Structures are given as C-alpha cells and as structure tokens.
C-alpha cells in the first residue's frame, strides 16, 4: 500500500508546475522578442536609407556632386559593395536616388523567413542645377 500512497502523493504535489509553464511559454516570448528586434532593425535601416537617398539626390540636384559621386557616397553610407542596389538618375529635370537592400542583410533572427524581399528607398527632387544655369 505504501507504493499507492506515494503515487497519490506525487499526483497531488504541485511543486514544479511553474517551471513547466515557464518552459511552455519561453519559446513564444523568445519568438516575440526576435520578431520585435528584426522589425526594429528593418525600420531603422529604412530610415537610414531614406536619409542617404535624400542626401545623394540633394547633392546632385544642387550641382554639388555628379551622379557617380552621389552613387559612391550612397554605397559608402550603406556599407555595401553591391552597386546594383544604388542608382542616381537625372531625367526630365528631376533627380531620383533609389536604394535597395535585401532583408537578409539587415535582420538577425528571421533571415530564413526573409526570402527575396528587399527594403527600398527612393527620393526624387527637382534638378536645380539645370535651372540655375
């Protein structure tokens, strides 16, 4: 009978139940934390890209830099060696700077979920260098 009493006592004992609940919830909290971190990194990089595109576009529109210089500036600011991700064009009196960067170059935890997705930033300004003469 003592074995049956021990089994019943173990079934009534609830010590350690908080540990089980913690272990069940931990992966969910970790996934939320990782998702929030990646989202924050993406938003921060998007803001940086918009600022770099604005600076490059502004430099060309004011006649301070050439298109090639603006593209080199943008590549340096983005810490990228891939010139396909940066373009500065002058067309019909407008200067457009376009920057692209794959998600996988930005995120830490969800790079396997990013696939071929990319962040993009494009800024267009009036070409004031051509109107000023």
The model's pLDDT over 76-122, given as tens digits with 9 standing for 90+, comes to 998 877 777 899 999 999 999 999 998 888 888 877 777 788 899 99
Q: CB atoms < 10 A from the CB of 35, how many?
A: 14
- Which residues touch 74 (CB under 8 Å, ≥6 apart)? 52, 53, 56, 86, 88, 97, 99
- The answer to whether 47 and 120 have CB atoms below 8 angstroms apart is no
* Per-residue pLDDT tens digits for 36-83: 999 999 999 999 999 999 999 999 999 999 999 999 999 999 887 777
Domain borders along the chain are 18-131
Model confidence, pTM: 0.77
């Amino acid at each position: 009978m003592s074995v049956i009493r021990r089994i019943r006592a173990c079934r009534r004992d609830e010590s350690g139940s908080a540990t089980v609940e913690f272990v069940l919830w931990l992966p969910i909290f970790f996934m939320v934390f990782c998702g929030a971190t990646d989202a924050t990194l993406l938003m921060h990089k998007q803001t940086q890209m918009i600022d770099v595109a604005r600076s490059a576009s502004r430099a060309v529109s004011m006649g301070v830099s050439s298109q090639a210089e603006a593209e080199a500036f943008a590549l340096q600011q983005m810490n990228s060696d891939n010139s396909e991700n940066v373009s500065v064009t002058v067309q019909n009196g407008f200067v457009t700077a376009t920057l692209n960067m794959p998600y996988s170059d930005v995120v830490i935890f969800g790079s396997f979920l990013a696939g071929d997705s990319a962040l993009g930033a494009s800024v267009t300004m009036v070409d004031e260098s051509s109107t000023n003469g």
